[in-house]
Chain A
Amino acid sequence: MEGTELAVQVVGTWLALVLSLILLPSAFGVSLGISEVYMKILVKTLEWATLRIEKGSPKESALKISASGGIIQRDESPMEKGISGHRGRDFELSDVFYFSKKGFEAIVEDEVTQRFSSEELVSWNLLTRTNTNFHYISPRLTMVWVLGVLVRYCFLLPLRITLAFFGISLLVIGTTMVGQLPNSSIKNWLSELVHLTCCRICVRALSGTIHYHNKQYRPQKGGICVANHTSPIDVLILTTDGCYAMVGQVHGGLMGVIQRAMVKACPHVWFERSEMKDRHLVTERLREHIADKKKLPILIFPEGTCINNTSVMMFKKGSFEIGGTIYPVAIKYNPQFGDAFWNSSKYNMVNYLLRMMTSWAIVCDVWYLPPMTREENEDAVQFANRVKSAIAVQGGLTELPWDGGLKRAKVKETFKEEQQKNYSKMLVGNGSINTESS
């Protein structure tokens, strides 16, 4: 029947094009320049759109409150200065002002919970999902938006899904095949080749443009690579430029299949759920891994959860107690082309991947930082903070002492108790309470 013949022909041509233009060049690490052209067109279009929006509503742009700049003037001075006194002063009825002002500042502009939702854009990037404040401007802009929707959903999405399918299948098949070989340098070389090829294909599946800086500091074997965490795609981005040993929990489903296949080709460190609870066990296994200088560097995300790429939150000290050399890496996404943050409470994995594949592109910068080791007089927490600062400074991210776990859990009472202790110290600082009227 002509209908099915035609359909078969179309699909056939489609696959042939994909194979020749994208898959084969990826395998050899070669770029045909198609994505560069796409990015150029995209940038020009978005610039034009920004200009139109600004022309269309000058009043709006004057009042736009930038999320990153902060909307209120905050006084960060410590409690002693805030309650205006020196230690050993007496209680006054006005002391309550300090706490209530701090409380209201937190209500108006809270530093923490905003990190668990996507960053707001300064100007719209023609994606419906980022359209929070922008009203209808002009018919031309709407047309461009409609065109964008068509391009993204009808052309880019099928293309990307095809690529992703190929990438993941190749990964599973390739690693299983390589896993059959006996341990040798050829096996390692092949395993690396398979990993790199599949990662490059998957990156193309997201229209990813990644700039790597300071490649001379790339993590070496026997070390630990730490990076800030925004989404599962971070792993993809890093493994495109080098091979790492992953650390994590064994999952079920598709993830589990991928994990089991990967571990055949080269030693990753996967833990059972029950083993994860035993911190000592985890640390021991990781230590064993890095002691073997021939094994790939371990990749760890010390924040423990996804943050929205505007800040770096508390680094859990576990990774910094293992010893060895730490190779910090800063990853910063450009939100103009697509929001990479995975809001796991809002979207599940499949939903998230679909959103990724219907964005314009994923553009990010990766900075490799000089390696760090723990110094003599530093404990794990201080070392973790030092590494965190280095990453925050390089990536242009805000540094926050708060735990990323606050996404799901309540804040610990100990912080409130600390505040109460500080205040009490102010009242009884000189060892006695002044009970006579002054």
Chain B
Amino acid sequence: MVLSGLNSLLTFNQYVLNAYYGQDMALLKALEELHRLSREDFQRIPELAINPLGDRIINAFFPEGEDQVNFRGFMRTLAHFRPIEDNEKSKDVNGPEPLNSRSNKLHFAFRLYDLDKDDKISRDELLQVLRMMVGVNISDEQLGSIADRTIQEADQDGDSAISFTEFVKVLEKVDVEQKMSIRFLH
């Protein structure tokens, strides 16, 4: 059908973006029904495959326990990276908080650390993510001290783990909007 010519994620994206920004609802509906992506589709992207956090990022697209993500899910995850100023265009004061608000962007980053989804970043989880980012180049002890220091600085309620509120507090001075936004040229 419409999707017969798509053989890469990029072509899919261009379709999606064309449809999304062109408000082509018929196409959006068609894409919603038919196309599904698996983890292998993502892993085929070389620049993503060499990203130290590649697996965590790919994981963010897939709902709990599922191996396929449909178009709607894909766009929802992607929407976290829309620039915040885009919200000016669609002022829906009574609607739910947009996915690309500062708070939701931070929540997305929090979930990259929170491996078991218990709304806390434990020392163990922090160590695992750190290990992904540094590979074999730093010893266990050094990594351990980094993790300890980070938790010590952030932890306010003394449970040796970082909750989402504590996470937000630590990052209150960081320009989240700029660091977690992708601007489209058009």
Contacts and interface: CB of A to CB of B under 8 A. Distances in A.
B50 A415 contact: yes
A64 B81 CA distance: 22
A106 B134 contact: no
A140 interface: no
A101 B182 contact: yes
Contact of A100 (B18, B135, B162, B180): B180
Interface in B80-136: 81, 108-109, 112-113, 129-130, 133-136
Interface residues of B, number: 64
7 contacts: A69-B185, A96-B133, A97-B176, A101-B181, A110-B8, A114-B10, A117-B8
B35 interface: no
B153 A437 contact: yes
Contacts of B54: 103, 416
Nearest to B176: A97
Contact of B137 (A59, A112, A424): A424
Interface stretch (A166-174, A219-227, A391-399, A427-435): A427-435
Contact of A410 (B49, B78, B136, B148): B49
A100 B53 contact: yes
Interface of B: 5, 7-11, 13-14, 17-18, 21-22, 42-54, 56-57, 78, 81, 108-109, 112-113, 129-130, 133-138, 142, 145-146, 148-150, 152-154, 162, 167, 170-171, 174, 176, 179-186
Nearest to B181: A101
Contact of B14 (A67, A94, A112, A419): A67
A10 interface: no
A324 B9 CA distance: 42
Interface residues of A, number: 63
A271 to B, nearest CB: 29
A40 interface: no
A433 B145 contact: yes
A437 B146 CA distance: 10
B114 to A, nearest CB: 11
A105 interface: yes
Contact of B180 (A97, A113, A437): A97
Q: Which 3 A-B pairs have CB atoms at the shortest separation, nearest pair first?
A: A420-B135, A424-B137, A106-B47
B180 A424 contact: no
A70 interface: yes
Contact of A133 (B18, B45, B135): B18
B49 A411 contact: yes
In this complex, the member of A91, A93, A111, A424 whose beta carbon has the largest number of chain B beta carbons within 10 angstroms is A93
A103 B52 CA distance: 9
